[in-house]
A = this chain, B = another copy of it.
């Protein structure tokens, strides 16, 4: 499976905010909607800092 874990980075500290993220859609105004495998969603504010598909890791820097 190819879901990723999404981390929110704030003050150089990365915090895991959601596991098994299947899709990410920008909502505008530096907001993103994370969609999980089971239909769960989470809205977070920030900018994409790094996408590493091999490490299953996406980092969003806190806005």
Contact = CB atoms under 8 A, between A and B. Distances in A.
Copies in the complex: 2
Interface residues of A, number: 19
Nearest to A53: B2
B24 A54 contact: no
A3 interface: yes
Interface string A9-22: 00000000000011
Interface of A is mostly: strand
Contacts of A25: 50-51
Interface in A1-45: 2-4, 21-26
Given A3-B53, A24-B48, 6 more contacts: A2-B2, A2-B53, A3-B54, A26-B47, A51-B51, A53-B53
